[in-house]
Structure 1
Amino acid sequence: MVLSSVNSGRTRPSASVGGALLRLRARLAAAPRLVSWLLTVLVAFFGGLLRFIRLGEPRAVVFDETYYVKDAWTMLLTGEPRNWPEFLTRRGLDFPVDTLFAQGDTNRWLSNTEYVVHPPVGKWCIALGLKLFGGAGNTFAWRASTAIAGTIAIIIMIRVALRLFNNMSIALSAGLLMSVDGVGITLSRTGLLDIFIMVFVLGAFDLLLMHRDWARVKLRAHYAVDAARRDAHWIPDTSRRARRAQRKAADGDSSVAGGGANDTTGTAGAAVSSSANTAGRNQSMLLDARGPVIAFSWYRAAAAILIGLATGVKWSGIYFMAAFCVISVIWDAWERYRAGYRSWLSTGLLCDAPLTALYMLPLWAGTYLAGWIGWFIHPDSYMHDWARNNPGQGITWLPEGLRSFVEYHVEMWQFHTTLDTPHDYKANPLTWPLQVRPTSFYWQELDGHPGLCSLAPHSKCVAAVTSLGNPLIWWLGSLCVIIGIIIAIVKHGDWRIWAVLAGFIGGWLPWAQYLHRTTFTFYSIVILPWIILAICYVGDHVRRRVSAGTWRITLTATLLPILLVSVFFYPIWTAMPVPYEFWLSHMWFKSWI
């Protein structure tokens, strides 16, 4: 009896642990924002491992690293990119300078500055990795910045998808697809520039979505005030959307009248929904007023800076600037209409658009110019004294420094628009989404049988870095773009599909004018986020129309094959030693070899 009474006063360990777990679950349920960030970091951590493990392999200068890494190294030490000899002589023998550079002989540059065809920002990003992680003799160091950028892109991808679709399973799927895609992995593990463009423009896109959420909240709040005024005046809404909403309401379907039950986005969702309810807009009437000015927000200003940085990596950032500005202004105008204001289109085009351009364009251009500070302050930079040496030429009314700068850009423009040099891995831009002609960054036959080669001791051992996207992601994404457009047409418009198409318009469509140019499939890294968002868009369409159980089955059936394909291809994305036959089994088409 004594023992029984003693035990009855104690708490069993299992009950204590179970209670703690229940309390933790309750706390997490009460903090969905914290949970979403914990899950975001978890997925990004997984993607980061795929990028950082064995990042220093191969221990060689890979593909165009010969330009960007060596430029970054000399910029770090001298302020400007310098020329390098093609060969160096050691003990009477000539060795490729790239081979010696990878071995740590990194100070053999020439005194004259190099003619470069891309702006400096991307190379400064690589230089930062060199500075922080051990210098040019360390292959990990010159790829560290790209690996960090690729990991950050996963985080942004999840937050973008969450703002667009307001569903955690969709958002985490987007991050997972970004984590395991081959183009994303290879560009994150190689010292090239294009990964920086992708992460900058994706970050800018996320900021423009934040601006949209902010503008919606502000418009709904102002509408509630304006509609309550005694002198408020309404006019009938005769648009097709309003007539359709009235028919739906008459049939007892109020989802369209509210813009869709799930049309709140991101962290602003609850506030937007509350504001919409407060406004209490009559869907058949529009308020005869213009509403507040929503052209400026710090989100948009930061987006302009990020696109300026992207343009400072490669000029292709210009196209994103044009596409994103247009789509953002259209979003503003449409939100005016959805809030209930009459003059939504004229206000958007005649008020919001000019005011937006008034500050976004200078911020974008100023950021781009800031990337060239090193060129301006170093007197021996390439073409720095062109104007002084060529009086009366160029744009004569400009100061000498700017005249030389403009002429340098003219020369760069001529290079980019006339580049048609034959290359084994040249790929027509129209084929990028289908990954028809991937780029082989590295292929080397190895001595001995290290790694997986030990499983086939009678076979050749090779290591490869093939910039080939996960075929299932890219093929499915391309199909979903078409399906998404069809869905949007049938539904008479959906702002989300235009968000998806904005990336294609900015990152892929402009290349259609340069079909003759020498281009490579790995340039498609800039449209990878929107390939993934196209999958998410169709997935979200399915999710809204099936049961929770069916959705889980559909999601698993989609993601599992994609993950298995990435496991299969990962060795040839990361230079793992594999038997030759294993490498050959990945070459599904002749164009992949």
Structure 2
Amino acid sequence: MPSDRALGWAAAFAVTAVAAILRFWRLTEPKGIYFDEVYYTKDAWGLMTAGYEVDSATCTRAAFVVHPPLGKWFIAASEKLFGYVDCAGVAHGNPELGWRFASAFFGTLAVLVLTRLARRVFRSTLLGCFAGLLLALDGLEFVQSRIGILDIFLMTGLVLALACLVLDRDDGRARLAERLPAAEAPGTEAPGTEAPGTEARYGPRLGWRPWRIAAGVCLGASMGVKWSALYTLVGLAALALAWDIGARRTAGARAPVRGALRRDLPAWLGCYVLLPIGTFLSTWTGWFVTDGGYRRHEYGDGFVAAWRGWWSYQEAILEFHEHLSAGHVAQSTPLSWLVMGRPVAYAWDGPEFGEQGCRAAEGCAREVLALGNPAVWWVGTAALVAMLALWASRRDWRAALVLVGFGASFLPWLAFPNRTMFFFYALPLLPFMILGITACAGLLLGPRTASDARRLTGAVVVGSYLVAVILLFAYYYPILAAEVIPLDAWRDRMWFPGWVVA
């Protein structure tokens, strides 16, 4: 790890401060509810007042909702602190700040965690800050951090889980290294525990692994926001087991696969299967401890009846998602996400001259467009190819991390070609793409032992790229943050017909 610990934290907080200023500045614009805030703000109010989502038409009857409650609990906590609109339509406090503050907080937190994660993965404070800036200056992450819907909570939960996974990898290898001398010394086995030679065959036990537990909790919590986190859970869990096998092979275990299955698999099952399930179930506590939730008493009263009602509810949610195929003007296919073929217009207004500060004779545009930073998404897609080549040539664990995490979060969507999908579903892919870009930046910069000319050339290329990211974010900022701009300026930013979402 880099030795500049204090500087590393200071730099990470500086990057996070940039992200926070961008996300919290004018957070309450546009005023009122827009896009899917119409659902989640009301669901959050129901959780805050009743412990379960209520039908906004009746204000009392339970509502059928198709996502788990944890993300809406975050919005509810934010509304409790800053303001909300009740079921009768009466505003309390500052409603827009109430239902958007949690999103801005989690979007900013993701920047801090990814900065520190990249620093650890690439052993470089510079590359850590580089990755954090890419996330801070991406348009899609920025927009999702300023709207009261669920996807930013999902992405941040997965980034936290990823950070815990990497910390567990480093911690597990450090423990393995510490225990190798004892494991290799003859006659050091505890009496009555294992046959002589077992340690040499399988490698030593690693004991308590708190970061693995934390990863399981974060993955279960992510599932408590949206079911789609299950895909990433499967990929990261498989990667963790593969890393255990690789660590034991590197340490000299004669049977590394059996060693990982014997030493690590029981705790792995607990942390990546049982613990996520338990965490996911705990996010439904409000539904279980109250009496009015959807299908809460479908099978009567009592413990068993409650579980049957909950399971029936999950089946209804699954059926909804399986048959979600209604057409939408902003829908897109997963492959188009990689090139931002069809962003989503969350809000649009066309003020005339003299309205909302418009000074253009032909009129103005005011939009919130869920559009990524082209320099991040397009280069990130190319970086995936580079990561595939890096893994194939060097078996680089960082390339495997990018490929497995991205693949687990992306490939399952290809299995549902008829489902209605949107570009913002791709938000969980972004951290893995940024890590891929950061790996490429590290290759361009070269090792510390590289020549000055090589380092200078790499620094110019990487620095120029970062400048392009900053300039593109600034260029698209008006249509990400609902600023009023002349209609001609808006048209200039619509590079492709698919970006005009009517």
- TM-score in terms of structure 1 length: 0.77
Tell me, in whole angstroms, the C-alpha distance in 1 between the residues paired with 2:472 and 2:118: 23
Residue 402 of structure 1 is matched in structure 2 by: 307
Q: 2:328 aligns with which of 423, 432, 445?
A: 423
Following TM superposition, by how much is the alpha carbon of 1:221 offset from its aligned partner in structure 2, in angstroms? 1.3
Residue 470 of structure 1 is matched in structure 2 by: 373
Counterparts of 1:18-29 in structure 2, within 5 Å, are: none
Structure 2 portions without partners, runs of 5+:
86-90, 190-198
Tell me, in whole angstroms, the C-alpha distance in 1 between the residues paired with 2:81 and 2:348: 29
Are the aligned partners of 2:296 and 2:309 in contact in 1 as well (CA < 8 Å)? Answer: yes
Q: 1:127 aligns with which of 76, 79, 84?
A: 76
**1:538-588 Cα deviation digits (max 9, x unpaired):** 122222265332222121111111111110001100101111111111111
**1:142-176 Cα deviation digits (max 9, x unpaired):** 10000000000000111111111001221111000
Tell me, in whole angstroms, the C-alpha distance in 2 between the residues paired with 1:555 and 1:416: 42
Following TM superposition, by how much is the alpha carbon of 1:452 offset from its aligned partner in structure 2, in angstroms? 7.4
Tell me, in whole angstroms, the C-alpha distance in 1 between the residues paired with 2:187 and 2:60: 76
What SS does the aligned partner of 2:154 have? Answer: helix
Following TM superposition, by how much is the alpha carbon of 1:84 offset from its aligned partner in structure 2, in angstroms? 2.1
Q: Which piece of structure 1 moves more, 73-82 or 52-61? A: 73-82
Q: 1:502 aligns with which of 380, 404, 416?
A: 404
Tell me, in whole angstroms, the C-alpha distance in 2 between the residues paired with 1:288 and 1:123: 50
Counterpart of 1:78 in structure 2: which amino acid? A
Residue 579 of structure 1 is matched in structure 2 by: 486
Counterpart of 1:435 in structure 2: which amino acid? M
Q: Which piece of structure 1 moves more, 546-555 or 515-524? A: 546-555
Tell me, in whole angstroms, the C-alpha distance in 1 between the residues paired with 2:283 and 2:371: 31
Residue 313 of structure 1 is matched in structure 2 by: 225
Question: In 2 relative to 1, CA 539–31 (structure 1 residues): closer, same or farther, beyond 3 Å?
Answer: closer
Residue 422 of structure 2 is matched in structure 1 by: 520
Following TM superposition, by how much is the alpha carbon of 1:500 offset from its aligned partner in structure 2, in angstroms? 0.7
Tell me, in whole angstroms, the C-alpha distance in 2 between the residues paired with 1:63 and 1:385: 32
Tell me, in whole angstroms, the C-alpha distance in 2 between the residues paired with 1:67 and 1:111: 16
Following TM superposition, by how much is the alpha carbon of 1:228 offset from its aligned partner in structure 2, in angstroms? 4.2
What SS does the aligned partner of 1:537 have? Answer: helix
Are the aligned partners of 2:118 and 2:128 in contact in 1 as well (CA < 8 Å)? Answer: yes
Tell me, in whole angstroms, the C-alpha distance in 2 between the residues paired with 1:468 and 1:550: 31
**1:478-527 Cα deviation digits (max 9, x unpaired):** 00101111122122x11111111122123111111112100100111111
Residue 511 of structure 1 is matched in structure 2 by: 413
Aligned residues: 478
Residue 21 of structure 2 is matched in structure 1 by: 49
Following TM superposition, by how much is the alpha carbon of 1:419 offset from its aligned partner in structure 2, in angstroms? 0.4
Counterpart of 1:329 in structure 2: which amino acid? L
Tell me, in whole angstroms, the C-alpha distance in 1 between the residues paired with 2:290 and 2:200: 58
**1:179-212 Cα deviation digits (max 9, x unpaired):** 0000100000011101001101110110111111
What SS does the aligned partner of 2:350 have? Answer: strand
Tell me, in whole angstroms, the C-alpha distance in 2 between the residues paired with 1:450 and 1:53: 22
What SS does the aligned partner of 2:201 have? Answer: coil
Are the aligned partners of 1:295 and 1:352 in contact in 2 as well (CA < 8 Å)? Answer: no
Counterparts of 1:210-289 in structure 2, within 5 Å, are: 210-229=167-186, 288-289=200-201
Tell me, in whole angstroms, the C-alpha distance in 1 between the residues paired with 2:182 and 2:355: 72
What SS does the aligned partner of 2:33 have? Answer: coil
Counterparts of 1:377-456 in structure 2, within 5 Å, are: 377-388=289-300, 399-449=304-354, 453-454=358-359
What SS does the aligned partner of 2:328 have? Answer: coil
Are the aligned partners of 2:338 and 2:378 in contact in 1 as well (CA < 8 Å)? Answer: yes
Question: Once superposed, which parts of structure 1, at least 4 consecutive aligned residues long, lie more than 6 Å away?
Answer: none
Residue 394 of structure 1 is matched in structure 2 by: none
Tell me, in whole angstroms, the C-alpha distance in 2 between the residues paired with 1:472 and 1:464: 21
Are the aligned partners of 1:449 and 1:461 in contact in 2 as well (CA < 8 Å)? Answer: no
Residue 273 of structure 2 is matched in structure 1 by: 361
Q: Is 1:72 aligned with 2:44?
A: yes
Residue 387 of structure 2 is matched in structure 1 by: 484
Q: 1:558 aligns with which of 427, 447, 465?
A: 465
What SS does the aligned partner of 1:56 have? Answer: coil
Q: 1:549 aligns with which of 448, 456, 459?
A: 456
Counterpart of 2:434 in structure 1: which amino acid? I
Task: Provide the aligned C-alpha RMSD in A.
Answer: 2.1
Counterpart of 1:480 in structure 2: which amino acid? A
Tell me, in whole angstroms, the C-alpha distance in 2 between the residues paired with 1:31 and 1:527: 31
Q: 1:536 aligns with which of 430, 438, 453?
A: 438
What SS does the aligned partner of 1:570 have? Answer: helix
What SS does the aligned partner of 2:299 have? Answer: helix
Following TM superposition, by how much is the alpha carbon of 1:324 offset from its aligned partner in structure 2, in angstroms? 1.1
Following TM superposition, by how much is the alpha carbon of 1:447 offset from its aligned partner in structure 2, in angstroms? 4.9
What SS does the aligned partner of 2:347 have? Answer: strand
Counterpart of 2:386 in structure 1: which amino acid? I
Are the aligned partners of 2:202 and 2:255 in contact in 1 as well (CA < 8 Å)? Answer: yes
Question: In 2 relative to 1, CA 315–508 (structure 1 residues): closer, same or farther, beyond 3 Å?
Answer: same
Q: 1:59 aligns with which of 31, 46, 50?
A: 31
Are the aligned partners of 1:295 and 1:353 in contact in 2 as well (CA < 8 Å)? Answer: no
Question: In 2 relative to 1, CA 71–433 (structure 1 residues): closer, same or farther, beyond 3 Å?
Answer: same
**1:293-337 Cα deviation digits (max 9, x unpaired):** 237411111111111110000101111221111101111111112
Q: 1:83 aligns with which of 52, 55, 60?
A: 55
Residue 192 of structure 2 is matched in structure 1 by: none
Are the aligned partners of 1:451 and 1:578 in contact in 2 as well (CA < 8 Å)? Answer: no
What SS does the aligned partner of 2:338 have? Answer: helix
